[in-house]
Structures are given as C-alpha cells and as structure tokens.
Homo-oligomer: A and B are copies of this chain.
Amino acid sequence: MPDFTLACPIPISDYPTVQLAHGGGGRLMHQLIGKMFAPLFTNPLLAQEHDGAVFNVAGGRLAMSTDSFVVRPLFFPGGNIGSLAVHGTVNDLAMCGARPRYLSASFVLEEGLPMTDLWRIVQSMAVAANEAGVQIITGDTKVVDRGKGDGIYINTSGVGIVEHDRVIGPMSVQPGDAVIINGDLGRHGIAIMAVREGLAFESAIESDSACVAGLVMDMLDADIDIHCLRDMTRGGLASSLVEIAQTSKQRIHIDERRIPVRQDVRGACEILGLDPLYVANEGRFVAFVPAAEAERCLAAMQAHPLGQGAALIGHVAEEKDGLVTMRSAIGASRIVDMLSGEQLPRIC
C-alpha cells in the first residue's frame, strides 16, 4: 500500500515538472516508470517489463497491452493516427507471442476537429483491425475544449491469446542468442519528421507502420524457439536493445554494418541530425532466437511480406553486464545507450 507521507520519488529539484523527454522512450521515461509507476503498482505481471502482460485466466493464457497515441501530424505518408493506433497495440500483443483478438478504442476528441477527419481516421482503424484479424469490442468517447487535445488522441488496449507454452520475454534471453530484425529501420520516424519539417525527398518516405502479428504467428508456426520479441517504436532499435539488456542482465552485441537502413532514410537522418538507431519504427521488431535456429528463423521471416528484409544483426554475448555494444561501420566498438533527452517527440 502506498504511504501518502512518502516523498515524490523523482527528485523535484531536478525535475519539478514533467518534460517532453519523460515520454520520449529514453532514459527519463524509464526513470519515471521505474521510480514512480513500477514501485507503486508493483505486482509480478507488471514486473515482466514487456510490451504487454501475459497472465493465466480460466485455464488459458492471455496477453493484455495498452497504448495511447498522440502523434503529430494526424495524417502522414503511409498512415494516420487511426491505423497507427491499431498497429501499435496489435504489435505489442504479438511481441508477447499472443494472437491479437480484441481491442478497445477510446477517443479524446478536441472540440472543433473536422468531422471528416474523424471519419477518415476511424475508417482507417476499421481497415487496420480487419487486416489484423481483431475486433474492436468496446470503446469510449470524450471531448475536450478547443485548444486542448490536438485534434484527437486515441487509446487502444488489446487482449490476445497465447496459443503455445513458450515464455517470450526479456527473462528468456540467453547468451548465444541470435539478434534478428525484420527489416530496414527508421521509416516511420522520418516520414513523420519530413511532414513536420516540410522536407521533400525525391520519393516520399512512407511510414513502415504495419501489423506484424501475422509474421510473428508464422515464426511460431515454424516452431522457432523464440526467446524474446520487442517492437522498435519510440527510441528505436537502440532503446529496445538497451531495455532488453537491462531487464535480462545480458550483454547484447550488434554489428552496425548489418543493420539495414534505406539510402533515402539515411540521407534524411543526416539532414535532420538523427541517428537511425534511435528513430522510431511502427512495423519493425527485434527477435532473440537460439543461434542454431537463426537461419531457419530468417527463412520463415523472409517468406512473409513484412519480413523480406529480415537481417541477423548481432548476438547475445557471454558477459552478463546488461550492456549493449556495437561494432560501428568503421570498425570501432562502443557502448550503445538510451538517449537521455528527447529525439523525436510525439511520433506515436
């Protein structure tokens, strides 16, 4: 039980107020969650520190996940806040190894939002839900005053069914595991930033936003002994790997030369001063599988449209120090850390 005499666990001399970076996926967000939310809400399911929680109920295993979407702008090349809101939560369930089944949809609308914008957004949600094989079974609608709420915020929460006995999560990561991603990095973040900054590229860079649950089900159907899955959203590949290394207390080592980044995305990152390793994706994830199954896993992934660009980018090393190290393109080795500040606010 909380004790209301307890002092605020975030030193208010350092952070008297919430900063944008507290939602950026980097170190400040993890500090807020780790120091304030996790100890208060403590329970074994929350302690899984995964994209969702897996629990036993009524003789079966289920997964539950939640995400609120506050992306700006609402519409971007390759999607909008509606399709993103479905993909995000469906993918979080898939990262738990669950087959997504049911979603809730909760809207915080701003007074004055054009009705036709709302109509486009909810149509995209319906299409995305249909493609992902999930049903939206319950919902909520709130409206806030003009000037608040930025048009629309959407929360989706989801329930999925775990149809196997594997324990997929950071605690299952083992030394020797292969580290595999399902394709090139950074398109979602760059698609958003290009709209915001008014950048025009020779060909539009479209968001990679997609439902990867089908791909994950294919991997499970191929009987790959998946140890861990994590989508590379806020904070990108780097933050996902650091989270997993810290939770599992394993050393993860990657090779920058093996990480696929499209040439146009790389160019845009240079213009914008961004590191593609930290740029958000919405249809990309990292998988940890036993080294002996890496080739079979890659083959299973590459047979799916969303895994065609799958690549083995590293492995789990023997040192159990919770660090992520990287051999860079020029051959130097360095530690990969979370960003302490905010790289790309409001990209999901």
Residues of A within 8 A of B (CB): 1-2, 4, 6, 8-10, 12, 15-24, 29, 32-33, 36-37, 40-41, 43, 45-46, 52-53, 55, 57-62, 64-70, 101-102, 104-116, 118-119, 122-123, 125-127, 129-130, 135-145, 147-150, 153, 155, 157, 159, 161, 345-346, 348
Chain B residues, CB < 8 A from A110: 18
Give 5 closest A-B pairs by Cβ, nearest first. A58-B60, A23-B143, A157-B157, A66-B104, A155-B155
Q: Which residue of chain B has its CB nearest to the CB of A16?
A: B115
Give the contacting residue for A119; candidates B9, B142, B159, B161; CB below 8 A.
B9
Given A36-B119, A149-B149: A17 in contact with B112 (beta carbons within 8 A): yes
Of residues A12, A148, A149, which shows the largest number of chain B Cβ atoms within 10 Å of its Cβ? A148
Given A41-B105, A144-B346, A159-B159: A16 in contact with B114 (beta carbons within 8 A): yes
B19 lies within 8 A of A143 (CB):
yes
A130 lies within 8 A of B17 (CB):
no
Query: Can you name 12 extra interface pairs (CB under 8 A) apart from A20-B145, A144-B153?
Result: A1-B130, A18-B115, A18-B118, A41-B126, A43-B135, A62-B159, A66-B140, A70-B142, A143-B345, A149-B149, A155-B157, A157-B157
Given A123-B40, A126-B41, A149-B149: A52 in contact with B1 (beta carbons within 8 A): no
CB distance from A153 to the nearest CB of B (A): 6
Give the contacting residue for A58; candidates B59, B144, B147; CB below 8 A.
B59
CB distance from A342 to the nearest CB of B (A): 8
User: What are 7 A-B pairs with beta-carbon distances under 8 A?
Assistant: A1-B130, A18-B110, A21-B143, A36-B122, A144-B153, A148-B149, A153-B153
* Complex alpha-carbon distance, A45 and B105, angstroms: 13
B109 lies within 8 A of A22 (CB):
yes
Of residues A37, A62, A142, which shows the largest number of chain B Cβ atoms within 10 Å of its Cβ? A142
Chain B residues, CB < 8 A from A130: 1
Give the contacting residue for A57; candidates B37, B55, B58, B346; CB below 8 A.
B58
CB distance from A290 to the nearest CB of B (A): 27
CB distance from A81 to the nearest CB of B (A): 12
Chain B residues, CB < 8 A from A119: 8-10, 36
Given A46-B138, A345-B143: A18 in contact with B112 (beta carbons within 8 A): yes
A68 lies within 8 A of B142 (CB):
yes
Chain B residues, CB < 8 A from A65: 104, 138
Q: Which residue of chain B has its CB nearest to the CB of A32?
A: B141
CB distance from A43 to the nearest CB of B (A): 4
